[in-house]
């Protein structure tokens, strides 16, 4: 029989008392050492992000900007050639301000590279190659004798000589002027030498094995990749020349 309350109502089974709430966890303050480690970790993450952005800028975005500028300057040179055609073998081919021509190296798969006077950083940052004026003055392709010496970046700023290590003995290197195709053949590579080794630029590059004057070409750039500790050298010798026709048909080496 159900129990009655004093007011006459019936009651059911008595409810158990509600459980007491669990005590809140005690939050202990972080030690000074833990706080320092946390802040240091956040700084490392931030530094990593900044470094990653800098690397992307140096190795990718500078290439984009340099390629745009090199293309613009190259278009100006070709426009100038079209407006004022020269004559084969005359000094009118020379134009140190706008550029003297275009380097084509099939083994590097880097397209055409505008060549201008000077190897200072500001010039090479435009995504071009430059011919040396010092410490050893470069010859020019149309000179009867000498060493046509060039430099370009290997990484960043166009990286026109990035794949220089793919050039092998017997490969063709072609230099295009307004009037003439100069076709060189590679005969020697020097994968590593001191950045102070200026002998590689001499009119007769004896380090390459040559002992008599000729019409040589020398490519120089930094090595190893992503550093500037040493220099990578490629030597070539003029094999022949071809006159540029009205359609600017490239020599077989470039087809």
- 84-118 b/e with 16+ CB inside 10 Å = b? eebeeeeeebebeeebbbbbbbebbebebbbbbbb
Assess contact for 243 and 173: CB atoms under 8 A: no
Residues in the chain: 255
Catalytic machinery residues: 222
CA Rg, the chain, in Å?
A: 35
How far apart (Å, rounded) are the C-alpha atoms in residues 22 and 28? Answer: 18
DSSP state of 148: E
Distance of CA 71 to CAs 79, 125, 133, Å? 12, 13, 24
Note whether 125 and 68 are within 8 A (CB).
Answer: no
């Amino acid at each position: 029989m159900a129990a009655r309350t004093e007011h006459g109502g019936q009651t059911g089974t008595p409810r158990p008392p509600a459980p007491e709430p669990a005590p809140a966890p005690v939050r202990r303050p972080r030690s000074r050492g833990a706080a320092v480690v946390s802040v240091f970790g956040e700084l490392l993450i931030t530094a990593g992000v900044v470094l990653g952005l800098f690397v992307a800028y140096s190795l990718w975005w500078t290439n984009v900007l340099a390629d745009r500028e090199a293309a613009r300057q190259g278009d100006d040179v070709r426009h100038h050639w079209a407006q004022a055609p020269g004559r084969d073998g005359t000094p009118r081919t020379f134009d140190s301000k706008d550029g003297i021509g275009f380097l084509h190296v099939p083994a590097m798969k880097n397209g055409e590279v505008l060549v201008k006077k000077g190897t200072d950083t500001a010039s090479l940052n435009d995504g071009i190659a430059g011919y040396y004026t010092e410490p050893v003055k470069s010859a020019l392709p149309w000179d009867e004798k000498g060493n046509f010496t060039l430099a370009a970046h290997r990484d960043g700023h166009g990286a026109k000589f990035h794949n220089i290590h793919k050039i092998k003995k017997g490969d063709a290197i072609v230099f295009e002027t307004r009037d003439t195709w100069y076709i060189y053949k590679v005969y020697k590579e020097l994968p590593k030498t001191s950045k102070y080794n200026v002998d590689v630029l001499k009119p007769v590059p004896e380090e390459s094995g040559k002992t008599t004057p000729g019409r040589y070409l020398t490519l120089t750039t930094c090595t190893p990749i992503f550093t500037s500790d040493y220099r990578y050298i490629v030597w070539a010798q003029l094999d022949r020349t071809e006159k540029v026709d009205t359609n600017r048909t490239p020599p077989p080496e470039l087809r």
